[in-house]
A and B are shown apart, each in its own frame.
Chain A
Amino acid sequence: MQYETVIGLETHAQFHTRSKMFCGCKTDFGAPPNTQTCPVCQGLPGTLPVVNRYAVELGLRAALALRCHIAPVTQFDRKNYFYPDLPKNYQVSQNYHNLGVDGRLEIEVDGQAREVGIWNVHLEEDAGKLEHPEDTGANYTAIDLNRAGTPLLEIVSAPDMRSAGEANAYMNELAAILRHLDISDCKMQEGSLRFEAGISVRPVGGEKFGNRVEVKNLNSMSAVVKAIEHERERQVAVLESGGTVPSQTMLWDVQREVTEPMRSKEEAKDYRYFPEPDLVPIEISPEWLDQVREQMSELPAARRKRFIAELDLPPYDAGVIVEQKPIADYFEQTVEQGVEPKTAANWIMGEVMRVLNERLCEIDDLPVSPPMLAELIGLVTDDRISNSVGKTVFGEMCSSGKKAGEIVEEKGLAQISDSGELEAVVKQVLADNPDAVADLESGKQQAKGFLIGQIMRATRGKANPKLAGELIDRLTGD
């Protein structure tokens, strides 16, 4: 029998805000434990929450981008459960009056466009972190409340995805939107983007969904993809052997790459949601929504289309460049300097991204601004320097922050395009390599490549290869 996989994803994104959801504490990553807390986020008795309006605006951006219906009034609810990382033993979240409902997200898989429904977009506060220092022999658990109260955006999709590939496309598109609208930096390694997957299988053409397995602890997109593939296999095997898949919550084991059932006690939860009485409902006026719309930049899908149609970029290049808004911005600014778009894309996808990956840094941290990159590319296209020297110069620019022209000047890297100057070098190389010259004269064209290589070596890459070839032809007397 053929089976199809049915997937829904819950996404938690940490907002790109400087302060927490309900107090003024900072949200910097990596601060010493419990240094970014106050009585409110510590959940001390008598304290009250106050809504971070900016977080609501970022949530509205997401709801608008995902084409949700936005009600004129939104409200917070309490989700009640006991856990030591949750100082109030309830989480302020949304359940009855979500910020946005009934939206959709368009994704593309293998060139085919598909739409994934968005059930709702809502706001909530994050919990703290527990640390179990057992390896140091300690018999206690430490609680760090720095993260407690950090604003979170939760996006709940409909069970509309049918393969790990679709889930992957959904996650990437969603992350691109969140980054583009400055909602979240989506750094999975810092936990600012987290997923939970609802996975079931059913015979192809079946109308009823199979029993749903919820998988938690998915800390990367690749973990989601692997967990979906693993669950599909596991659930199909259960069905094939005549069994039934129990509805349950599983945890993804990153090391062993399998799902493990959670303790049943942990999943049998009644959260007793009720409206948060410490917060008044928030009115979302049409004027406020208009303001939010004005602040929203172009969405990734529109930007990709524009890059393809107006700048003539191949779809693959447009996809890579638009994935991260700062890179797409950098690209556009480079093109604005008069650089041919495909050339700019090649440089950014090649050298620029290589350096970012090597240094594990963001494009904003790079000392090379778009006008500086444009100057460098100009030197290469004008044959002032060779492509390979250009790459060296770029590396130098990244370390020193100097301009390309300065570096070329200082280090004498300008291409030797003067035939008189180059002729002496070519003569010397021909004299030093009589065998190769003989090969060339007997018609072996590979020998010419060897000789050009030797000329480049002698000039430390500065020789104009085209001119060097012409000189060889002339001096070998063909």
Chain B
Amino acid sequence: MPDLIELSAGDLHRKLVAGDVTARQIVEHFLDRIEQIDGRIGAFNTVTAEAALDKAADIDARLDKGETVGPLAGVPIALKDNLCTRGVPTTCSSKILEHFVPPYDATVVERLDLADAVLLGKTNLDEFAMGSTTESSAFAPSANPWDLSRVPGGSSGGSAAAVAADLAPLALGSDTGGSIRQPASFCGVTGLKPTYGRVSRYGLIAYASSLDQIGTFSRDPRDAALLLEVIAGHDPRDSTSAREPVPDYATELEKEVAGMKIGLPREYLAEGIALDVEAAVRAAADAYQGLGAEVVDISLPHTEYAVATYYIIGTAEASSNLARFDGIHYGRRADGKMNVDELYSRSRSEGLGDEVKRRIMLGTFALSAGYYDAYYLKALKVRRLIKKDFDDALAGVDCILAPVAPTVAYKQGEMIDDPLSLYLADIYTSATNLAGLPAIAFNAGTGEGGLPIGVQLMGRPFEESGLLRLAHAFRQATDHHLARPNLTED
């Protein structure tokens, strides 16, 4: 049997279909590895070993009978624990949903099942996807596989760490202001945030509805293309999902990059960026020039307002989205006899963490009578200006190359008491969500402490193909991806 850990999702699938390996062998292999390693990483909230083995047995039985199987048959996948899974706890890493078991599957979960992917389990996140270190999880922080004393980033930290530590070849996350791209960058994996509306949000427990987008984690862009093709497309249950056709991303990925035009926004390479990160971005630009792409300077003049705009709109929507967690209908309820107002107050006080409360209060304030115009409405106007910056820039270039985060991964606990600095570190990622654009983050070198540094490419709406193509070409032309975290026990 080949060493399954080294194989991409695509290769695993091909070997399964070729009969070199069974789905059961693949699944057992990953379950064993989770068993051995995840105690140190803490990527998973729940491991669905039994259901995974059942699904594997089903796939093997169908293959034995010569039946056709789906495009992800036998490929294990981990899901961020804010994606609803029928019969499997979906906690958002929050005490208030600790024992919540949805009676339905998210659309992406249905599509993965139809494609015969095998769900390994649910991964840790910052509570309700609010954070960028996975330390605001109500259960336990996750560790960065490259350096266990560091954070994996967040909020999809568990999914990023799972892929980086080879606990799963694929994972899904959600990105509201950088929650896929930043942990992908911190963990040295490929993270794709599709265009808003590209993937149905039905079953994604909302943080900020107009910004949230489900996306992928994988070792390389080719696997991202494979996974995106399965989960993308219109869903009648999500009226914000787009009716745009879904291209054959795997074929698109192989196309030539020579002649493509890449913009380098000067506002993203100004003050506040660490030297090693800036160097990685410039080196990536050079690599693209070497591949025959043209790199030009561009400007996104409203960049400095992105973080403030994001935190007003995001928290305003969150204050309403999270109102339903009240201890009445499901989830954690405060003990004892009390009136309903007290029951709300106590259930929410006990069930929600500090960061979530902070954002609910910010958002409630921004929507309050007398402040609505000055904050929420103003933020909507700025959002349009930010969108226009991108529209103008992307009229002249095919995509935009930028850093993902100002630094490499933080030490555990380093930022936990400094929410404002953490918010400001969303500077390079949050504007993409405000504009609804697709972006892909991938490893482009190592920096301080041998930690990975990611860069991102942002593109026009529904042009994920171009981003995948450029990310793939970069990987073919460089050897940054050869560096891997060392997780062997001492």
B106 is an interface residue with CB less than 8 A from chain A: yes
A48 to B199, alpha carbons, bound, how many Å? 14
B317 is an interface residue with CB less than 8 A from chain A: yes
Interface size class of chain B, counting residues whose CB lies under 8 Å from the partner chain? 35 or more
Are A274 and B316 in contact, CB atoms less than 8 angstroms apart? yes
Known: A88-B323, A274-B316. A48 touches B364 (CB 8 A): no
A134 to B250, alpha carbons, bound, how many Å? 64
Known: A272-B320, A277-B210. A44 touches B103 (CB 8 A): yes
Chain A residues 28-87 with CB under 8 Å of chain B are 39, 42-51, 78, 80, 82, 84, 87
Are B204 and A50 in contact, CB atoms less than 8 angstroms apart? no
Are A280 and B205 in contact, CB atoms less than 8 angstroms apart? no
User: Which residue in A44, A80, A279 is a CB contact (below 8 Å) of B104?
Assistant: A44
- Residues of B near A42 (CB, < 8 A) are 329
Nearest-CB distance from B448 to chain A (Å)?
Answer: 38
Known: A272-B364, A274-B376, A278-B240. A84 touches B104 (CB 8 A): no
Chain B residues 72-100 with CB under 8 Å of chain A are 82-84, 90, 92, 97, 100
Known: A143-B329, A278-B209, A280-B240. A45 touches B368 (CB 8 A): no
B40 is an interface residue with CB less than 8 A from chain A: no
A51 to B238, alpha carbons, bound, how many Å? 10
- Residues of B near A45 (CB, < 8 A) are 84, 90, 92, 97, 100, 102, 205-206, 324-325
User: A401-423: contact bitstring with B at CB < 8 Å (1 yes, 0 no)?
Assistant: 00000000000000000000000
Nearest-CB distance from B109 to chain A (Å)?
Answer: 10
A43 to B341, alpha carbons, bound, how many Å? 20
- Residues of B near A78 (CB, < 8 A) are 320
- Residues of B near A90 (CB, < 8 A) are 320, 323
A279 to B106, alpha carbons, bound, how many Å? 18
Known: A39-B103, A80-B367, A82-B323. A87 touches B329 (CB 8 A): yes
Are A48 and B320 in contact, CB atoms less than 8 angstroms apart? no
Known: A48-B237, A278-B239, A280-B240. A43 touches B324 (CB 8 A): yes
- Residues of A near B316 (CB, < 8 A) are 274
Nearest-CB distance from B119 to chain A (Å)?
Answer: 16
- Residues of A near B247 (CB, < 8 A) are none
User: Which residue in A46, A82, A279 is a CB contact (below 8 Å) of B344?
Assistant: A82
A270 to B92, alpha carbons, bound, how many Å? 29
Chain A interface, DSSP helix/strand/loop, else mixed: loop
Known: A272-B320, A274-B376. A89 touches B326 (CB 8 A): yes
- Residues of A near B283 (CB, < 8 A) are none
A76 to B103, alpha carbons, bound, how many Å? 27
Are B204 and A46 in contact, CB atoms less than 8 angstroms apart? yes
B340 is an interface residue with CB less than 8 A from chain A: yes
Chain B residues 264-295 with CB under 8 Å of chain A are none
Chain B residues 170-210 with CB under 8 Å of chain A are 201-206, 208-210
Chain B residues 202-249 with CB under 8 Å of chain A are 202-206, 208-210, 236-240
User: Which residue in B203, B326, B329 is a CB contact (below 8 Å) of A46?
Assistant: B203
Q: A80-B319, A274-B367, A278-B206 are in contact. List 6 more A-B contacts (CB 8 A).
A: A47-B202, A80-B323, A82-B326, A272-B367, A277-B317, A280-B240
17 sample A-B contacts, Cβ–Cβ < 8 Å, listed by A number: A45-B92, A45-B100, A46-B82, A46-B90, A46-B106, A48-B237, A80-B320, A87-B329, A270-B368, A270-B369, A272-B367, A272-B368, A272-B372, A274-B316, A277-B210, A277-B240, A279-B240
